[in-house]
């Protein structure tokens, strides 16, 4: 299966366990090159539950489309101090992916 791996990071908020352990919120996404669908995902969260929650949230999302609906879902459903860092990292990954698509055409 032709896939690519894309990563992005954003500074974690101070005085959080994410900051104390990692300093950054990191996102790693595996995306199918032809369909642009996220097929696997990993995040720098301390708990397995948070990892699985975000994995379920993003897998299946078409990363070639506008990212705002996914951002809104995160803002609504992920109520944690690291919310904004996760959103920034996801936006960075999305922009990197969009830039890659534009270069490929």
In order of start, what are the domains of the chain with their CATH numbers? 3-104 (3.90.1010.10)
**For residue 61, what pLDDT is reported?**
97
**For residue 105, what pLDDT is reported?**
54
For 20-69, write each residue's pLDDT tens digit: 777 878 899 999 999 999 999 999 887 899 899 999 999 999 999 999 99
**For residue 104, what pLDDT is reported?**
73
- Collapse the DSSP code of 5 into the 3-class scheme (helix H, G, I; strand E, B; otherwise coil) and give the result: strand
- The count of other CB atoms within 10 Å of the CB of residue 14 is 10
Integer Cα distance of 11 and 82 in angstroms: 9
State the pTM of this model.
0.87
Whether the predicted pLDDT of 100 surpasses 70: yes
Beta-carbon contacts of 25 under 8 Å, excluding residues fewer than 6 positions away, are 9, 10, 11, 12, 18, 43, 44, 82, 85, 86, 88, 89
């Amino acid at each position: 299966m032709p896939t690519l791996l894309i990563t992005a990071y954003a500074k974690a908020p101070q005085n959080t366990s994410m900051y104390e352990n990692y300093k950054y919120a990191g996102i790693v996404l595996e995306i199918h090159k032809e369909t642009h669908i996220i097929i696997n995902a990993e995040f720098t969260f301390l708990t397995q539950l948070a990892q699985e929650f975000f994995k379920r949230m993003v897998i299946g999302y078409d990363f070639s489309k506008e990212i705002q609906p996914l951002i809104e879902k995160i803002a609504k459903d992920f109520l944690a101090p690291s919310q904004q860092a996760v959103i920034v990292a996801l936006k960075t990954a999305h922009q990197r992916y969009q830039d890659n698509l534009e270069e490929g055409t």
